[in-house]
Amino acid sequence: MASSHLLCNHSLFFSSAFKNCGFSNTPPSKLQFQRTPFVKASKKQLEIVYDPDERLNKLADEVDKEAPFSRLTLFSPCKINVFLRITNKREDGYHDLASLFHTISLGDVIKFSLSPSKTKDRLSTNVSGVPLDDKNLIIKALNLYRKKTGSSNFFWVHLDKKVPTGAGLGGGSSNAATALWAANQFNGSVATEKELQQWSSEIGSDIPFFFSHGAAYCTGRGEFVQDISHPLPSDIPMVLIKPKEACSTAEVYKRLRLDQTSNVDPLTLLEKISRNGISQDVCINDLESPAFEVLPSLKRLKQRVTAAGRGQYDAVFMSGSGSTIVGVGSPDPPQFVYDDDDYREVFLSGKLQVV
């Protein structure tokens, strides 16, 4: 989510989404923080009640005075893989891929505030189950930024999570890119976006993509990012359906057999999409078969979406390593996800677009 092409004339992908989805650099209202102790009066005495947050509030005041701005609220979009070819297994244990990544209008909102602390970031979120320590890519990204630049800034961060986890949508990777970009803004943009992009690959293969313009042909482990002109019209609608169960990426790759993957040249797929737009035959994902072994119900879901949406969707495919099924070409989910009790707990998001 880190590209200044969208935000305040910077050239980072997520900036364009940011411009429409909530960038703020206004200092917090002084009315939000009570800087004085609470006073309680009685007939015989005036009691001063100690406010344990008062010292912290005074430190926050000093931070506000020194900083060019004290808050950033940023949109962190997720992505889909329009096609995903796995081309080779490397000696280091990773796989080479060739994929068309594209951001879409579903995303998280992350609020960053400078912290008076000089030793620790503080992360909160609106959903349970999300790690709040250095297992979270946001904290990893902030640690990485300080390591690379020597910055002494620490942050209060609140993650308003909309993108499901274990979905193949790159929500955590986008959050990390957003955190790197935000930290750099607070630090006077001492690093270039190219540097941020290169650094980001140290903590996640998908993160460099989120420093693109929003559509990119990604190779290597995903860290080699080639911006391309948006191959899909911005008004093309889509639907995401994710079952409650997640797919373990490690388990999916463990079951991958290269001799059973597609043999179509990914550059041919890219050229065909660029020329003719999206269609079922170009939306190849080599991770579908192993993901369907890990989660057989996911195969059934794709089959049902394809059958129910015959003529409704231009293409139905799995994103990333799962477990989200994407239907492109209609904003409306198939009726069975509302009627069938088996799908009562699915994550469902319609009326989405590419961004």
Residue 38, pLDDT > 70, answer no
Q: What pLDDT, on a 0 to 100 scale, did the predictor assign at position 36?
A: 30
Q: Cβ(29)–Cβ(238) under 8 Å?
A: no
Note the pLDDT tens digit of each residue in 319-333: 999 999 999 999 999
Least confident of 119-123, 266-270, 310-314: 310-314
Structure tokens belonging to residue 29: 């209202």
More confident residue, 62 or 97: 97
Identity of the residue numbered 284 = I
Catalytic residues, which ones? 79, 206
Alpha-carbon torsion 144, 145, 149, 153, what sign? negative
Q: Does residue 330 contact residue 312 with C-beta atoms inside 8 Å? A: yes
Write the pLDDT tens digit of every residue in 182-212: 999 999 999 999 999 999 999 999 999 999 9
| pLDDT at residue 10 is higher than 60 | no
Q: Which CATH architecture has domain 71-349?
A: 2-Layer Sandwich (3.30)
pLDDT tens track for 275-311: 999 999 999 999 999 999 999 999 999 999 999 877 8
